Amino acid sequence: MTMPTRRMDTLGRRLRAGVAIAAGCLLGAAHAAKWRGGDEAGPDYVPAPRSALVGRQDLPFRLAQEQRGESTVTILAWQAAGGQAVPLSVMALSRSRNGTRLSVQRLALPDLAKKEGGDLDVATLEYLYTLVLRQDPEAQYCLADVGQGCDADPYPYSHAGMLLQLARARQHAVDSAGRPGASVPWQLMSLAPTEMPDTDPDEVGIRISGEQGPMAGLTIFFNQAPHASCAAQSTADGLATCHLVDQHGDDDAHGHSKAPVLALFPGDIRADRVLLPTTLVLNAKP
Amino acid sequence: MHQNRPRFTRIVAAVLALSTTHLAMAQTQSDLHRDAATRNVGNDAFMMKYARAFYCNLPDNNNAIVIAARATNSVRIPLTQIFDNVWYVGSRYVGQYMIKTDTGIVQVDAGNNAAEMQNYNYPALQSLGVSASYPLKAVLLTHGHGDHDGGAMYLRDNFNPQFFLGSGDLGSGKPYSPTPIDSTDLSMRQLSIGGMPITVLPTPGHTPGSTSAVLTVKDGGKDVKVLINGGQSMTSSIPQVAQYLDSIERTYAMAKATHVDGVMTPHVYWDGSQIMLDDVNARGRTSPSQFIYGHETVLRQLAVARECSAAWLTKLDATAVLPVWRVNTIAFLGGNPTPNKVAAKLQNGWGALASQKVSFSVPETGASCTATTNADGVASCDIHPLRPHKDKVTASFAGATSAGFVDLPAETTALACSNGNCKTN
């Protein structure tokens, strides 16, 4: 039935750049180790899309994506002008009946990059935070430092937990760089579930806190598959609640969804401080 | 009083400058892209009222218009012929397209439910001549939501067409046993759907299995290419919206590559198609059809959609920094092309585009020249030979990319003038 497939190379090239930041770009830890020394054939790198979270915007990051068996690998690399791309970190995504798993394998910094001092390490973690934020909030995560691997089963971190690990690793890198004040301070944010009335399953809420306690005036987005959502501003006690609305449903789809509700704080990035974006998965009410 | 005036003016100027600076600083990435969506609309009031408003409903915090549109799901539009061989059947909210081919009918989408198929689609198919020898051959489902495949089982039981659905929406299986279109293969390819060659492009984002398509229909006896959007409206999930954005960008590339001139949107409220349907029913089908928007307008609408998607993604993800897509237009200056010189102006919703290369060519003779736009966006050069009233000159801008912008390509063609006497095609 299917006629010979006609593909457009140009679309393919555009696509490779686009999918690097899209969901489903990751793989299993077993493949991560292979990238320690890079691929001899050389993956097809494209300039990494900008992230407002990265302090050193001048550092030449590149991304490549490849399919390895059932897994999808995204490689974050550093590439000096005229030089070859050197992998800094490998993210691997795999899906199974047990769910989606994502590993992030950190690699040793290349000798060529040492002139950047600790900045490259800091920026790499900042970029990793961005990449992980864009992944599936319901996935299980693992972070492996240089020389370590992701052998844990199940992967130990939730999406928010993984982001927290990256933020801590970034703070460690900032401290190690020994240049106090050179990096914008990151404030960890956390979302916590809160008691909601059982009478309305579409009424959702969370409590948002910073390092000093509840945070007011921040926007939280809630999403429930297939397409219900709402947004709320946090009150003085950090409480953000709203009523899920089916954005685009059909007449037969007004039943209560059993899908989990995903809460998202998109972050607030300013020149002098960063409130880190984070997520929380809330199980659907019975 | 007069003596104080200069001082007052300076104070006002300082306040204005501070305000402007503050506004500039306050403009978020999301605001930047919403503004770009508006600028890219140009002077198209219809696009502003429909496509711009609906694609941007979430970043505009204006979801109420979508909720209101959904309330029209039970308000029917009569079976309406929109091309020589295409009919719309459906409500003011969502509908299906029936395409007559030599050997049977191909339908796009399958309605909300069985009752709708029985009450409206069955009679419509009969009126279009469906029979054992002229069957409903295939149904292309843009995605697997209930307002697009809710009547599929009825169609299967009564007509047994072959269904096509993006594999990403199969979930734990669909009872009407569709033929999957591989949603993980994001390349554009041609499929035979009910014997009709249709170019499909998986466009995940609205759902994982959303599929867009380009097909050739007949309008006034001529072949025209039309785009079918795989699924509108976004969620509030970063990965899904990132996919949606990527899908819109690829749809733009497909529409450009295949030279699409028209759009058939299942959700007819989204881009104002319902108004076109009203117009067809009020005064008949025009020539070209009301559903032929023109290639530039289709691309402009997709560029607007891209900016709306970027506006929503950057609202959900404060780390995202995305370049702004700008729709450019190029136009020959009055009196040009002249016999020995051509001049054209390149501009967009932000103003004139300077320092960009514009190529002029006469495909018939091979004559060409290239010039760079000045501060007013004007490029001019000599071209030989150039035969007045005979040669068609094409001015084209190939597009450009910088850190903050993606300037989209632009092209125009005109008949060479003579002494200010111009005829444009």
Interhelix angle A9-19/B238-257, nearest 10 degrees: 160
Residue ranges per structural domain of chain B: 45-322, 327-415
Number of Cβ pairs < 8 A linking chain A and chain B: 159
Question: Which residues 89-128 of chain B have a CB within 8 Å of chain A?
Answer: 94, 112-113
Q: How high is the pLDDT of residue B419?
A: 72
Tell me if B191 and A10 make a contact (CB, 8 A cut-off).
no
Least reliable range by pLDDT among B20-29, B135-144, B374-383: B20-29
Query: How confident is residue B423, by pLDDT bands cut at 50, 70 and 90?
Result: low
Shortest CA distance from B320: residue in chain A: A51
A216 or B16, higher pLDDT: A216
Is-same-fold flag (B45-322; B327-415)?
A: no
Least reliable range by pLDDT among A3-7, A135-139, B227-231: A3-7
Q: How high is the pLDDT of residue A220?
A: 98
B421 or A206, higher pLDDT: A206
- Residue A89 backbone dihedrals phi, psi, to 5 degrees: -160, 150
Query: How confident is residue A29, by pLDDT bands cut at 50, 70 and 90?
Result: very low
Query: Quick check: B369 pLDDT over 80?
Result: yes
Give me the mean pLDDT over the A103-115 stretch. Answer: 82
On average, the pLDDT of chain A sits at: 82
CATH number of B45-322: 3.60.15.10
Query: How confident is residue A209, by pLDDT bands cut at 50, 70 and 90?
Result: very high
Q: For residue B389, which of B365, B417, B361 has the smallest C-alpha distance?
A: B417
Residues of A in contact with B67 (CB under 8 A): 245, 247
The model's pLDDT over B333-347, given as tens digits with 9 standing for 90+, comes to: 988 888 888 999 999
Any chain A CB within 8 A of the CB of B191?
yes
Tell me if A248 and B190 make a contact (CB, 8 A cut-off).
no
Query: How confident is residue A96, by pLDDT bands cut at 50, 70 and 90?
Result: confident
Interface with A, mutate which of B237, B252, B314 (most A CBs under 10 A) = B237
Question: Which residues 194-233 of chain B have a CB within 8 Å of chain A?
Answer: 197, 199, 206-207, 232-233
Q: For residue A92, which of A63, A67, A109 has the smallest C-alpha distance?
A: A67
Rounded distance between C-alpha atoms, residue B88 and residue B80, angstroms: 5
Query: Quick check: A118 pLDDT over 70?
Result: yes
Residues of A in contact with B92 (CB under 8 A): none
Number of CB atoms found within 10 A of residue B251's CB: 23
B242: tokens are 């990132």
On average, the pLDDT of chain B sits at: 92
Any chain A CB within 8 A of the CB of B236?
yes
> CB of A102 within 8 A of CB of A132?
yes
Query: Quick check: A273 pLDDT over 90?
Result: yes
- The percentage of residues in chain B with a pLDDT greater than 90, rounded to a whole number, is 86
Rounded distance between C-alpha atoms, residue B205 and residue B209, angstroms: 8
Rounded distance between C-alpha atoms, residue B61 and residue B69, angstroms: 16
Query: How confident is residue A285, by pLDDT bands cut at 50, 70 and 90?
Result: low
Tell me if A53 and B319 make a contact (CB, 8 A cut-off).
yes
The model's pLDDT over A142-172, given as tens digits with 9 standing for 90+, comes to: 999 988 888 777 788 999 999 999 999 999 9
Query: Quick check: B18 pLDDT over 90?
Result: no
Question: Going by C-beta distance under 8 Å and a sequence separation of 6 or more, which residues neighbour residue B36?
Answer: B307, B310, B311, B324, B325, B326, B349
Q: How high is the pLDDT of residue A249?
A: 61
Residues of A in contact with B266 (CB under 8 A): none
Q: How high is the pLDDT of residue A113?
A: 65
Residues of A in contact with B245 (CB under 8 A): 18
DSSP per-residue string spanning A15-63: HHHHHTTSSS----HHHHGGGGG--TT----EEPPPBTT-S-TTS-EEE
Tell me if A3 and B190 make a contact (CB, 8 A cut-off).
yes
Q: How high is the pLDDT of residue B85?
A: 98
- The percentage of residues in chain B with a pLDDT greater than 70, rounded to a whole number, is 93
Long-range contacts made by residues B355-360, C-beta under 8 angstroms, separation at least 24?
Answer: B356/B397, B356/B400, B356/B407, B357/B397, B357/B398, B358/B330, B358/B395, B358/B396, B358/B397, B359/B395, B359/B396, B359/B397, B359/B398, B360/B393, B360/B394, B360/B395
Question: Which residues 154-173 of chain B have a CB within 8 Å of chain A?
Answer: 162
Shortest CA distance from A265: residue in chain B: B316
> CB of B310 within 8 A of CB of B248?
no
Q: How high is the pLDDT of residue B23?
A: 42
Interface with A, mutate which of B103, B236, B248 (most A CBs under 10 A) = B236
Tell me if B146 and A267 make a contact (CB, 8 A cut-off).
no
CATH classification (class only), B327-415 = mainly beta
Q: How high is the pLDDT of residue B168?
A: 96
Any chain A CB within 8 A of the CB of B71?
no
Q: How high is the pLDDT of residue A149?
A: 87
Any chain A CB within 8 A of the CB of B315?
yes
Q: What is the ipTM of this complex?
A: 0.85
Beta-bridged to residue A224, according to DSSP, are A228, A261
Continuous H helices in B121-169: 122-127, 146-149, 152-159
Domains of chain A and any CATH numbers: 13-177 (no CATH), 186-282 (2.60.40)
Query: How confident is residue B417, by pLDDT bands cut at 50, 70 and 90?
Result: confident
Q: How high is the pLDDT of residue A255?
A: 54
Least reliable range by pLDDT among A16-20, A195-199, B93-97, B262-266: A16-20
Give me the mean pLDDT over the A133-139 stretch. Answer: 96
Any chain A CB within 8 A of the CB of B249?
yes
> CB of A65 within 8 A of CB of A26?
no
Continuous H helices in B27-151: 29-41, 45-47, 53-55, 64-70, 114-116, 122-127, 146-149
How close, in Å, is residue B3 to chain A by CA atoms? 42
